[in-house]
Amino acid sequence: MSALRLIQTALYGKLHGDATLGALLAPSRRDGGFGVFNDVPDEQPYPYVQIGSGRELPWHTMGTATDGIGWNDSVTVHIWSRYQGDVEALAILTRVVGLLNFASIPVTGFATQFISLEEARVLVEQVEKVETRHVSAVFRMQVHQ
């Protein structure tokens, strides 16, 4: 059984449930809650967080066919901001890292070994001809059954 969808769900729950992060983000056009998404709604105001795609590699501890199976997953969390300069995007990144890095995040059906920040980078992009800050933060999580 793949863990990637369940990991994305767990990360969403952790980020979406934090009022401090929510205070840094625009309200969701979808439900009025915090701007944390996997699928960003059309015309969502900035800033917001998007839990993006992932990568998954299996590992096995040489137990039985269904015992000792684990997954090394990487999930990219994207932070989008139109604030001029990096200040807003980096404040959001600081909170996201504080919530996720070395945190205990339950993943349904799995025991979590660890989650850690692997890499973060700040990019300046043109989105609809507007300068936009895009922070890409890759988190690695290892889980096992």
Mean predicted confidence (pLDDT) in 1-9: 88
What percentage of the chain exceeds 90 in pLDDT?
72
Q: Which residue would you say has higher pLDDT here, 65 or 31?
A: 31
Question: Long-range contacts made by residues 118-125, C-beta under 8 angstroms, separation at least 24?
Answer: 118/74, 120/93, 122/86, 122/89, 122/90
CA distance 41 to 35: 10
Read off the pLDDT of residues 90-105 as tens digits, 9 standing for 90 and up.
999 999 999 999 998 9
Closest residue by Cα to residue 25 from 101, 102, 103, 77: 77
- Please say whether the beta carbons of 35 and 48 come within 8 A: yes
Residues 6+ apart with CB under 8 A from 88: 24, 47, 81, 133
Confidence bin at 73 (pLDDT 50/70/90): very high
CA distance 20 to 23: 5
Residues 6+ apart with CB under 8 A from 49: 15, 21, 25, 35, 36, 37, 77, 78, 79, 80, 92, 96
Mean predicted confidence (pLDDT) in 26-34: 91
Question: Where along the chain do its domains lie?
Answer: 4-144
* pLDDT score of 63 more than 70: no
Q: Which residue would you say has higher pLDDT here, 145 or 133?
A: 133
Closest residue by Cα to residue 47 from 132, 137, 139: 132
The correct answer on CATH 3.40.50.300 for the domain covering 4-144 is no
Read off the pLDDT of residues 104-117 as tens digits, 9 standing for 90 and up.
899 998 887 789 99
Average pLDDT, the chain: 91
